[in-house]
Amino acid sequence: MKAIVTRQNPDGTYDEVGMNNRIVVGPFKRERTVFLRAFTWARGRSHRVETFAGDSILGSPNTVRYVKGTVAG
């Protein structure tokens, strides 16, 4: 499983393809590991996690989850 993690901008939007506010994490076997790594990278800020089955991030994600952060900004 791989995921694309995007930190939320101060204005509440999320960057799309080609921006600097995104990272690919994985491959991992467990979804919990993906979310722990995503939360660490986002430094506790709100973020979006798009998960993909297997080792490819091409096509539509299997799930998209919005995680509310514990740190403002």
DSSP structural state of residue 16 = -
Q: What is the pLDDT of residue 4?
A: 94
Domain tally for the chain? Answer: 1
pLDDT in tens, the chain (73 residues): 999 999 999 898 998 887 788 999 989 999 899 999 999 999 989 999 999 988 888 889 999 999 998 876 5
38 domain residue, yes or no? yes
CA 17/CA 29 separation, integer angstroms: 25
d(CA 71, CA 73): 7
- The reply to whether 17 falls in a domain is yes
The whole domain housing 15 covers 2-67
Determine, yes or no, domain membership for 73: no
Q: Are 15 and 50 in contact (CB under 8 A)?
A: no
Strand ordering across the sheet containing 2-7: 22-25, 2-7, 47-52, 63-67
Residue 72 lies in a domain: no
